Structure 1
Amino acid sequence: MKSPMYDNVFSLDPDGKLMCTISMKKARWYIRKGIAEWCDKDGVKIALDETDAGGTASCNDGVDARYIRLLFKPKGGTYQTEGSLENLYLRTPKQNVCVSCGDDGYHMRHFIVPYSYRNLLTDEYKSHMSHDIVILCPTCHVNCEKMSKKRMRQMEDELRSKRPGDSCCSPVIDDQHLHHVRSCAIALVKWKKNMPHEKVESHERVVREYLASIATRADSKGSLLNKEEELTKFQLQSACGVNYRVKNPEYVSGSELVVQSLNGDPKPIEQFIVGWRNHFVDTVRPKFMPVGWSVDSPVVCGRNSVDIGDDGDGVKRW
């Protein structure tokens, strides 16, 4: 990352009560919209140029901090139970260090739930949810990715084995028409002089029809189809290089297969996310996780974690 992941700007409600820490980008967005103001730690407005690095004040421990006070009352779901882990997570400044080894040098943003899965989940599981995005140094990131990839393959192979014929289904297939276009173009380039006139015309017709189908100008299409000009070397080379390997419409990627198996049901999705959190903790053994972070933290912003295990004793592993 080119800049620190956490800016640790303290966001206060209109009464000056601490709600959470946010990014400098979000803080400045609030300021520009006129719905927040820079303030000190007690919520008292301070004058600050918008081009400044942000309202710098001093915490009790002497560490520089930045504060904004909202000028509107946030909707429900903003406040967590006092003393709860979620409360601590939201309000406590986060260190810009590798959560595994504590290295404070070059960092990488790491998705605890693999990005290829997370990207396919609905927005409620991604919007305003930072629990499953942490910092790792390059070495720890590589080691973690190896274990994550292994688990992903196991999950995907298990699901694919339950789909008849899916194990041998290729992600790409040959488009027979495009393959024919390419073959005709190659033949014209290499052997046109030795080919019968009828075959040359047949091959050129195939190439012309293809080039006309991808032409953007109407006059170019007409010129190709009406044989007004000889096919140029560039046109033939273009047809020779056509990619006839296309996406197989019947193929379902491993990531899609896994997310589809959750059926959009909140309970399996929570089990899935918590399962990846457990995997991360078990494999990385992080020693520097943000204060208040927990495998049982909510998976949706503003929603309390619920017990959905089969025996009611917590979320079961996916």
Structure 2
Amino acid sequence: MSGMYWKQRHFTIGIIGTTLGLGVVYFLRKYGEYKIKKITGYGLRTFGDRVVVVNSARECEVVAENLLRKCADFRVLGFDCEWVSDARRRRPVALMQLASEDGFCALIRLCHMKQLPEGFKEILEDATIFKVGVVPYDDAAHLMQDYNIRVSGCLDLRHLMRRSGTLSHGGLSGMAENLLGIELDKSWHIRCSDWEVPVLSAHQVQYASQDALVAVAIFSKLIKHELRPWWHIWGPKQPKWSKVVELCQNYIDVKYKDKPKQGKSAHATPQDGSGQVLSQANRHIIKPGSRAYSTRQKPLYDNCILQAPDGEVLSTCDHKKAEWYLLKKLGVKVCDNPLTVQLNFEPSGRAVDEVGQYYTQEKANHCVVCGSNKSYIRKNIVPREYRRHFPVVMKDHISHDVLLLCLDCHLKSNSFDVMLRQQLAVECSAPIGRYDDVKMLDVPDLKCVRSAARALLSSGRNAIPLMRRKELQEIVLQHFGVESGTELTRDMLQKANDVVVSVMNGNYKPHGLRVVMYFSDPKNGGLMYLEQRWREHFLATMCPHYLPALWSVQHNHQRLKQRIHQGHIQPEEVGFAGIKLD
């Protein structure tokens, strides 16, 4: 009896010991790395050679090779930029920070370099290497504007935070505190310090490196939370990269909107990551909620058929156009399904070659990128801000460049378009959102007068200190040329409140017009090159799988040449197109 008792007791003790052992292994597996990194601060307090300050192109080449090796398997880099503000205006980016997951960080001093080596540019342009941070897309736009450096593969960590249901306030600092237990130094006197000084201080180096190091650490933490369930004790330390790509692919190069509006689907940001909201990249991008951003309630393509008098198919069209020909008695109905109208007059042109055949084929009502047919929006492949300035002879057949995209693909495509617009802004000296691109200019003195009048009108008699009230009254009196000390009437205040504070900018030329003017010179490639470039950009960035048959990057170019040979268009009328006649 006693032998059986001791055997059962040993067995019970063994089970308890095994369970405790597994518990310890699980704890170390799940929390050990986190605790260790919490103590060391992810390398934030011990620099050594883990943080490298790069001042020359040669040093940059060495760092580029090092970063490529470090992100060979885990293709993620923490990304951030710093710059100096002068009189509330941003100067060119002075410092770019890139950090790998193992704690290495490179501080690239762009202000001391004339240009980056090609090897480093390739890292930045490689969309398969994720550049993670908070609002990395804005930093990428600044690099494009300042140095013509295109950064692809940007991922805002807030997308993953929202997906995981871990909402945090305070940007990267809040994330670091909530997820890593790290309190970042965000002192304003360091954040706003001179990043263009000859030598960075130790405090500047620490401040600059911590953002990039923490960003990649947060990314690693979030994907492990998503891809390694709590019960997966014996799983690999890092998830398979293919799984990481699958998790993040919908958020790459897509801006994050902090407070999406509720209601319409175009405003909502689903928790499962099936849709994203693209913040207005700049004032030229169409705002969500506008007509172009509203998903269609009806199919775009009705695929009604127009025929020539001899029965030859001219094109497909919508019901409204087909019924217009019938209403005007310009044609007769041939059949109802599909609605087919035969014209009773000879059309000015017929379907010739692939250009004409493109318009005779039936088109599907689905996203040309992913094939979704739940909802779709019209996408202008050549943006209207450029097309509107094209000459009349190049505005024919523009429906070729109007394709259907689902909401997610439309938003992602627009985010890619911003990068090409920034490139064109640099190439064509066509700034976006600067002095020459602003139609109306504010007059500071008049704004000051209006502000003073509004303060005096809206505040009670004793709400403004006496000295300040007298200052405001003097501003208004000087505007009307009245002597100091004169009583200020309410009528004068009302007139000052209604003063127009903006004047027309005589140098105003919008970005789109400047770009079109630049390419109108055949020496710069011609407008056909600009048109083709936007089409190729769409193919390269979106990789559409469901394009209509016969869709081409050179659509209508051959037709223009034929019309010149036929005498329908004079060569001088399309010299700006960049056509080379045989």
**Within 5 A, what are the aligned runs for 1:295-306?**
295-298=553-556, 304=562
Q: What is aligned with 1:118?
A: 387
Question: How far apart in 2 are the matches of 1:196 and 1:103?
Answer: 62
Q: What is aligned with 2:408?
A: 139
Is 1:259 matched with 2:528?
A: no
Shift in alpha-carbon separation, 1:167–1:184, aligned structure 2, 3 A: closer
2:513 partner SS: helix
The amino acid across from 2:511 in the alignment is G
Shift in alpha-carbon separation, 1:249–1:32, aligned structure 2, 3 A: same
The answer to whether the Cα contact below 8 Å between 1:192 and 1:200 also exists between their aligned partners in 2 is no
Q: What does the per-residue CA deviation read over 1:130-159, in whole Å, with 9 as the maximum and x for residues that have no partner?
A: 111100111111121111110111111222
**Within 5 A, what are the aligned runs for 1:206-217?**
206=479
From 8, 12, 20, the equivalent of 2:315 is 20
**RMSD of aligned residue pairs (Cα, Å):** 4.1
**Within 5 A, what are the aligned runs for 1:16-165?**
16-40=311-335, 56-57=336-337, 65-75=338-348, 77-80=349-352, 84-160=353-429
Shift in alpha-carbon separation, 1:173–1:187, aligned structure 2, 3 A: same
Q: What is aligned with 2:285?
A: none
Question: How far apart in 1 are the matches of 2:305 and 2:481?
Answer: 65
Question: How far apart in 2 are the matches of 1:309 and 1:130?
Answer: 21
Residue 16 of structure 1, CA deviation: 1.3
The answer to whether the Cα contact below 8 Å between 2:476 and 2:493 also exists between their aligned partners in 1 is no
TM-score by length of 1: 0.67
Q: What is aligned with 2:533?
A: 275
Shift in alpha-carbon separation, 1:193–1:308, aligned structure 2, 3 A: closer
Question: How far apart in 2 are the matches of 1:140 and 1:195?
Answer: 54
Q: What is aligned with 2:441?
A: 173
The amino acid across from 1:134 in the alignment is L
The answer to whether the Cα contact below 8 Å between 1:125 and 1:301 also exists between their aligned partners in 2 is no
- Structure in which a larger fraction of residues adopt helix: 2
Q: What is aligned with 1:287?
A: 545
The amino acid across from 2:380 in the alignment is F
2:399 partner SS: coil
Residue 112 of structure 1, CA deviation: 0.5
> Which has the greater radius of gyration?
2
The answer to whether the Cα contact below 8 Å between 2:367 and 2:406 also exists between their aligned partners in 1 is yes
| Structure ranking higher on relative contact order (CA contacts 8 Å, 6+ apart) | 1
Q: What does the per-residue CA deviation read over 1:51-92, in whole Å, with 9 as the maximum and x for residues that have no partner?
A: xxxxx23xxxxxxx12000010112x3230xxx322431211
1:67 partner SS: strand
Shift in alpha-carbon separation, 1:242–1:103, aligned structure 2, 3 A: farther
Residue 186 of structure 1, CA deviation: 4.3
The answer to whether the Cα contact below 8 Å between 1:118 and 1:126 also exists between their aligned partners in 2 is yes
Residue 23 of structure 1, CA deviation: 1.9
Shift in alpha-carbon separation, 1:71–1:158, aligned structure 2, 3 A: same
Residue 278 of structure 1, CA deviation: 1.3
Q: What is aligned with 1:244?
A: 501
Q: What is aligned with 1:231?
A: 490
The answer to whether the Cα contact below 8 Å between 1:297 and 1:305 also exists between their aligned partners in 2 is no
2:537 partner SS: helix
1:100 partner SS: coil
TM-score by length of 2: 0.39
Shift in alpha-carbon separation, 1:311–1:260, aligned structure 2, 3 A: closer
Question: How far apart in 2 are the matches of 1:74 and 1:129?
Answer: 19
1:261 partner SS: helix
The answer to whether the Cα contact below 8 Å between 1:10 and 1:21 also exists between their aligned partners in 2 is yes
Q: What is aligned with 1:203?
A: 476
Residue 258 of structure 1, CA deviation: 0.5
2:548 partner SS: coil
Q: What does the per-residue CA deviation read over 1:14-57, in whole Å, with 9 as the maximum and x for residues that have no partner?
A: 111111111222112211211112113xxxxxxxxxxxxxxx23
Q: What is aligned with 2:453?
A: 185
Q: What does the per-residue CA deviation read over 1:264-286, in whole Å, with 9 as the maximum and x for residues that have no partner?
A: 76971111111111111122211
Question: How far apart in 2 are the matches of 1:300 and 1:178?
Answer: 55
Question: How far apart in 2 are the matches of 1:87 and 1:121?
Answer: 21
Residue 251 of structure 1, CA deviation: 3.8
Q: What is aligned with 1:7?
A: 302
The amino acid across from 2:532 in the alignment is V
Shift in alpha-carbon separation, 1:155–1:302, aligned structure 2, 3 A: closer
Q: Return 238-247 or 131-140, whichever deviates more.
A: 238-247
Question: How far apart in 2 are the matches of 1:90 and 1:204?
Answer: 67
Shift in alpha-carbon separation, 1:127–1:87, aligned structure 2, 3 A: closer
The amino acid across from 2:450 in the alignment is R
Question: How far apart in 2 are the matches of 1:268 and 1:119?
Answer: 16
The answer to whether the Cα contact below 8 Å between 1:125 and 1:300 also exists between their aligned partners in 2 is no
For structure 1, the 5+ residue unaligned runs are: 41-55, 58-64, 210-229, 313-318
